[in-house]
Structure 1
Amino acid sequence: MNILSPFHLAIPVDDIEKAREFYNKTLELEEGRSSSHWVDFNFFGHQLVIHYKPKTGLENNHKNLVDGKDVPVPHFGILLEWHIWQDLAEKLLKKNIQFAIEPYIRFKGEVGEQATMFFYDPCGNALEFKSFKDKTQIFAK
């Protein structure tokens, strides 16, 4: 696998302060630069920016069925080390996060074994945090 460069992702939020608190306090991300309309966060070494965007009523909550679970589309997230994912899942459970899909293991004992969980930020952005038991199998079939 090639060494990856940090990505930049800007997402819409309809309440800067609620979103700021979620990313600061719930996910415990370090805040970077900000203005009244956007805030940068260190998203596990990547640049995540929340940008104010008023709700239009046209937001789409589409889901695809995967493993019998409704996976929100679109969503974004990060691939974490196995133990870091486990620690984060425990923290979020203690913080009473309402999961769209509770933490669980997919393909247990098979190629591509992975841990995953889905939840929403307070502005409706879906996040997936996952980990592979063996990182060399991220794209394995």
Structure 2
Amino acid sequence: MLLQGKTHQDDRGVITFNNEFDASEIKRIYTIENHSTDFIRGWQGHKIEQRWFASMKGSFEISVIEVDDFTNPSKDLISQKYLLTDEVLTYLHIPAGCITAIQSKSLDSKLLVLADYQLGEIADEYRYSLDYFNYM
């Protein structure tokens, strides 16, 4: 789900904001910077944890799959693609039960990641090869 951000500009400068985003569940914050625009980070995700993504610099294409079985997911699951840019502070909410593949679409892009669990609080990380699913 996208939580659309906005921007305001006046003689003092530019503010990007998102007044719809509720950060009360956030326990951890980090950033991702892929080493090139050809690299795709994924597939990985969580059965229990949630994530929220926002582009702090540049742009990212994020593919999301809702997993049917984390032990043996179907190979023909459908992904949804989202484009996040730094023009507005739009958050992409990745609910529990989903995995992602993340590709920066411009050089030197930086993605903000918010999580609702501390690192090591629970064992809930799942990874699959990029070619596991039929469409990639």
Do both share a fold (TM > 0.5)? no
Structure 1 or 2: larger helix share? 1
Q: Which has the higher contact order (CA 8 A, sep 6+)?
A: 2
Structure 1 or 2: larger strand share? 2
TM score, norm. by length of structure 1: 0.28
